[in-house]
A = this chain, B = another copy of it.
Amino acid sequence: MSRPSIPKGTRDFLPAEVRKRQYIFDTIRGVFETWGYVPIETPAMELLETLLGKYGEEGDKLLFRILNNGDFLAKADREALAQMDSQRLALSIARRGLRYDLTVPFARYVVMHRHELSLPFKRYQIQPVWRADRPQKGRYQEFYQCDADVAGSDSLMYEAELVQIYDAVFRKLGLKVRIKLNNRKVLAGMAEVAGVADRFTDMTVAIDKLDKVGWEGVRAEMEARGIGAEAQQRLQAMLEARSVEALAEALAPSQTGRLGIEELQSVLAYLDGIELHNALLFDSTLARGLSYYTGCIFEVVVDTDAHPGVRMGSIGGGGRYADLTGIFGLKGVSGVGISFGAERIYDLLEELNLFPEGLARTLQVLGIAFDEATHRFAFRQISALRQAGIAADLYPEPVKLKKQMKYANAIGVPWVLLVGEDEMKTGKPALKNMHTGAQSAHTLSEILDILRADA
């Protein structure tokens, strides 16, 4: 084997990339913890019976399935084999699949561990998920999700809290965003009021395209989906409402619509008097992932006023699902949660140059020696620095100075400790500042002070 590679849609990460990703995860984790969320972890492999049917027909196709070990054909579906039916055969030769998201495993987790948990249970989870999507720029088959969810309470306080979490995380990351808020009941109310309650899904599919095709396109889509001109007009009028109040009157005839408005008002009341760094916008056209959301819906996009020229889809989303665990046999547990699009956030911070400086640097000093004896001496010096908590290294051999300095430059170390025969005799190695080029001899304890001051 001469040219190794990795599966399409997967990635290796270089050290600098790992540190930048870690910075994003740590920032998100820190806010989650401050807001009272606790970490859980679930296995990469789930039983397929847990995953199948939870993400729609399309989702089922995108699951990675693990071939059963051993003589898997012994228990294979003979009929499926005879008919060369891959889809059916798969059910008999693969009983496990890779996690597709963090929400379904969380619902399963709550059901399995309900006797060990106190409700409301506020958990966060930062783990990779796998999807057999066609790989393309910015879309991977293995990627991290960062989720916070609350299970076991229908208090709208949590919707308010999740808005604050979005606000706090993006503030810390230096990214100005718009947090969009809507409510599924508001959308349902609109459909009722416009007399197209039976066309609810058609309506939301059309609305979801607004960003891409504009109002004309949305109306054409509605037309094609059997929503008449009058209903289109009434819907457009409601969808153009820019505030909850403006919509409240129009939705008054619908009980569901009124409930949606009340929920939104309740969330906003919690946030009353609390300063947000980012804009919180009511957006009645927000209709994402309606398949399982039942109440409030969130979406976060970049604030293009603050960051002009940036083109990027949503970098976060979430909502309320009144029946989180019913599918696993536990009724009456409401859930609400949000997710951060860590991969896109990474690309944005990179594009906008928002990663803190010095993130990639951990090594503070590299020792350089000139012969066997000074190399052994330098190893003890470097060891002493490490014992004191300084990230330090020693070039592995006393080769030519030029080669060692080239390595020091390549790895970007800020200080070099030069240990020659004189330095060994006096016990004062020369410390060179790689940035300024300045160099001076010091005792180890002085060096420790200098490096600590620079950490």
Contacts and interface: CB of A to CB of B under 8 A. Distances in A.
Contacts of A40: 12-15, 18
B5 A47 contact: yes
Chain A interface size, as a band, is: 35 or more
Interface string A312-354: 0000000000000001110000000000000000000000000
Contact of A43 (B10, B65, B379): B10
Contacts of A19: 39
A47 B4 CA distance: 9
A7 B46 contact: yes
Contacts of A387: 168
Contact of A142 (B36, B44, B397): B44
Contacts of A155: 396-397
Interface in A387-428: 387, 389-394, 396-397, 407, 410-411
A280 interface: no
Given A35-B386, A396-B120, A73 B86 contact: yes
A85 B73 CA distance: 7
Contacts of A34: 386, 389-392
A273 B377 CA distance: 10
Given A36-B391, A112-B5, A113-B12, A69 B73 contact: no
Interface string A6-43: 11001111110011011000000000011110111111
A2 interface: yes
> Which of A44, A96, A269 gathers the greatest number of chain B CB atoms within 10 Å?
A44
A164 interface: yes
Interface stretch (A122-130, A174-182, A212-220, A222-230): A122-130
Contact of A157 (B33, B84, B379): B379
B41 A327 contact: no
B391 A33 contact: yes
Interface in A369-394: 375-376, 379-380, 383, 386-387, 389-394
Contacts of A10: 43-45
Interface stretch (A87-95, A236-244, A253-261, A432-440): A87-95
B43 A123 contact: no
A184 interface: no
A64 B66 contact: yes
Contacts of A86: 70-74
A116 B269 CA distance: 53
Contact of A164 (B43, B85, B383): B383
Given A66-B67, A113-B12, A383-B164, A43 B7 contact: yes
Given A4-B108, A5-B47, A411-B118, A383 B81 contact: no
Contacts of A116: 14
A153 interface: yes
Nearest to A272: B376
Given A18-B40, A35-B386, 9 more contacts: A1-B49, A1-B50, A14-B40, A14-B116, A61-B70, A72-B86, A158-B396, A164-B383, A269-B376
Interface of A: 1-7, 10-15, 18-19, 21-22, 33-36, 38-47, 49-50, 61-62, 64-67, 69-74, 81, 84-87, 89-90, 93-96, 98, 108-109, 111-113, 116, 118, 120, 122-123, 128, 130, 132, 141-142, 150, 153, 155, 157-158, 160, 164, 168, 269-270, 272-274, 327-329, 362-363, 366, 375-376, 379-380, 383, 386-387, 389-394, 396-397, 407, 410-411
